[in-house]
Amino acid sequence: MNRMNVPDSTLPPPREVLRNLALELGGLTPEMRKAAAYVLENPNDVGVSSIREIATAANVKPNTFVRMARSFGFDGYDEFREPFREDIRNGGGNFPDRARWLQSLSKGGKLGGLYADMASSAIANIEQTFAATDAGRMKAAADAIVNARHTYVLGVGINHTLARNFAYLADMAVDNIQAIPRDGSLAIDDVSRAGADDVLLAMTFKPYRKEVVEAVEIARSQRVTIIGLSDSPASPVIAGSEHGFVVQTDTPQFFTSTFATGALLETLMAFVIADASPDVIANIDRFHERRRSLGIYHEDQEDRRT
């Protein structure tokens, strides 16, 4: 196991601690894995909870957290949680805390700083998301989609728009991808007839949506190939899935950021197009030409000449 070799005077940032936990999750003992998964899913609890409190919440013994901390190079739980405590002191916090912070910025005339923070977090989310995967993993997921009988793209709430956009783009080239849940249906209904020749691309972020998790569980029982997008390797749509992508969603505002999710989906779509047969490009050209012939696009005289 990789040790962090933590110097006495310099502690790593919480993001580095969480990244190391995620990388080593599969090599931990079952009890330590439960403790690490709790930390990955509830990092805000670490800085404010005693060892007994967090052990009770994770349903493990307090000594499990001590052993977990030491396995990553910390002297014990107190040192392990110190980076998280420091993050809170520097302004980190949960969604309600961030909402109050936004209000204070507005009252204090500091929206210029918020503007900069939004740009910085969007760029950082995309960089960290793409750094956590590679072209090989992206191609493997694209292969699964291209070779599937049907691909269902599941997202609810703010993710439903992303799912529909992915299916909309795919429809220009192939006809076996659809966004779910469809109007008037439930996600579990849409995957009820899926099987081993199909793919379910599912996305959900903390707090995880129950209907998405249930649809993934049903699809797994029917041997559907799962591509999961979420914010933790311990997420129920990533753990146990054939293809999983951890997406960064940090933001200074109240709502979960979707920048990195959209960028990852656009990249996956590019791989799907590149991976498909040459007829796909012709299909896209015909799609746009048909729209032009129907007058759907606004074109000026210069556009018509080109």
**Which strands sit side by side in the sheet containing 151-154, from one edge to the other?**
177-180, 151-154, 199-203, 225-230, 243-246
41-52: pLDDT as tens digits: 888 788 777 889
pLDDT value of position 305: 40
Q: Which domains does the chain have, with CATH numbers?
A: 14-89 (1.10.10.10), 131-275 (3.40.50.10490), 276-306 (no CATH)
Token pair in block for residue 154:
């599941």
Distance CA(277)–CA(263), nearest Å, equals 23
% of the chain beyond a pLDDT of 90 = 45
pLDDT value of position 65: 93
237-260: pLDDT as tens digits: 999 899 999 999 988 777 789 999
pLDDT value of position 1: 47
Distance CA(13)–CA(45), nearest Å, equals 15
Whether residue 207 has a cis bond before it, omega within 30° of 0: yes
Distance CA(177)–CA(150), nearest Å, equals 6
User: For residue 22, what are the contacts with CB-CB under 8 A and spacing of at least 6?
Assistant: 40, 232, 233, 234, 246
